[in-house]
Structure 1
Amino acid sequence: MPKSRCQWAKHELEIAYHDTEWGVPLHDDQGHFEFLILEGAQAGLSWLTVLKKRENYRAAFADFDPEIVARFTEEDLERLRQNEGIIRNKLKINSAVRNARAFLDIQREFGSFDSYIWQFTEGQTIQNNWKSPEEVPAKTKEAEAMSKDLKKRGFNFVGPTICYAYMQATGMVNDHLVSCFRHKDLLDAG
């Protein structure tokens, strides 16, 4: 019998991502930086578009090492704008470097980005019990607070909707539908 999944997971890349990553609590700074870049790159596009380009992003952005990305030069940015393997939006590419620098500032202030970002959910996964996709919000008060604080710290492409997608991706919220086999798996994961 096939597993019951969240309805958005249709393509093989989406299914693999859904089954192994989406909603799993993340406590690795490099992983956090990756999702910040990818969620910002997704703005206005489908997540599948980003998943198809993910390996190219890893190569183009030094495996999402914020120390390296923060030192990207104008030449590096031009190289990225010519890279057909990633989303070549100039504003999104520039924001990756800007966000890397702000990311490093947060690491210095809080000891890790993980310590900083999880404060928005009081260090716990918010366990939701949605029965249908229509119930899942596009943003929440926690995502709005995160967005406001990240922007204050110099980040961009971190609006409340992007922040909520980031929270879903990194397991700060469990938005798997209750009918999905992953919902129960992640109830105690946070």
Structure 2
Amino acid sequence: MTAPTLSRCPWAPDDDPLYARYHDTEWGVPEYDSRALWEKLVLDGMQAGLAWITILRKRETIREAFSQFDPEKVARYRDDDIDRLLANPGIIRSRAKIQAAIGGARIWLDMCDNGEDFSEYLWEFIGGQPIQNIWSQMSEVPAKTALSEALSKDLKKRGFKFCGPVIVYAFMQAVGMVNDHLIECPRHAEVRSMGGR
């Protein structure tokens, strides 16, 4: 009798190589780089009202348009930069989302100036170690949790936009703050073995 074949989480279909590669190499991997975490928070905010595959398909163009998400550069964007971005068909052309990214860069820099590391700030919400969930079906995976609600509330208090509890939970999943790969997915054990810092 042969062992059952483990299968990838159903949200990442085999027939979409971009989605499959994202699932297999990136989603759920613990991220501790402050700049990369800010970029991912911005991208999750840009997803609001859209499918994540839309962001994945545009991600490289968005990175190029937003100066590779260098907070010091994005924080200096002015009206002409907003106009330039709004004219770029390769990105998400929402004035509110563009302004949220610029505002978020300024908040990120303010935190640095005040001696706060963005990565440490985020990971402190879960005690510095990824939460290892053991879901067997997609229907068990929550859209938000008490932790994502608390983090969302604090981000908003600081002035970040497009960071409601559902967006924040998707962000927490993406950056490995929670391991929400289904237990039969090969990546569940792989991500769990990465542990914390």
Does the alignment reach a TM-score above 0.5?
yes
- The answer as to whether partners of 2:30 and 2:176 remain within 8 angstroms in 1 is yes
- In the alignment, which residue of structure 2 is the partner of 1:12? 17
- The letter for the 1-side match of 2:66 is F
- In the alignment, which residue of structure 2 is the partner of 1:114? 119
- In the alignment, which residue of structure 1 is the partner of 2:42? 37
With the length of structure 1 as denominator, give the TM-score of the two structures. 0.96
- In the alignment, which residue of structure 1 is the partner of 2:106? 101
Deviation at 1:149, TM superposition (A): 0.4
- In the alignment, which residue of structure 1 is the partner of 2:182? 177
Which deviations, in whole Å up to 9, do the C-alpha atoms of 1:120-139 show, x marking residues without a partner?
Answer: 11101000000000000000
Distance 1:33 1:105 in 2: 13
Deviation at 1:110, TM superposition (A): 4.3
- The answer as to whether partners of 2:82 and 2:98 remain within 8 angstroms in 1 is yes
Count of residues in correspondence between the two structures = 190
- The letter for the 1-side match of 2:158 is R
Which structure has the larger Rg?
A: 2
- The letter for the 2-side match of 1:105 is D
Distance 1:179 1:122 in 2: 26
**2:105 alignment partner, SS class:** helix
1:47 matches 2:52? yes
Distance 2:115 2:30 in 1: 19
**1:187 alignment partner, SS class:** helix
Identity %: 54
Which deviations, in whole Å up to 9, do the C-alpha atoms of 1:84-141 show, x marking residues without a partner?
Answer: 0001011111110011111112223344210111011110100000000000000011
Distance 1:98 1:153 in 2: 11
Distance 1:157 1:111 in 2: 21
1:1-190 equivalences in 2 (<5 Å): 4-10=7-13, 11-189=16-194, 190=196
Structure 2: tracts of 5 or more residues without a match: none
- The letter for the 1-side match of 2:44 is E
What is the Cα-based RMSD across aligned positions, in Å? 1.3
- The answer as to whether partners of 1:110 and 1:116 remain within 8 angstroms in 2 is no
Deviates more, 1:109-118 or 1:6-15: 109-118
Instruction: Give the ranges of 4+ consecutive aligned residues of structure 1 lying more than 4 Å apart after TM superposition.
Output: none
With the length of structure 2 as denominator, give the TM-score of the two structures. 0.93
- The letter for the 2-side match of 1:47 is W
- The letter for the 2-side match of 1:172 is M
Distance 1:105 1:188 in 2: 34
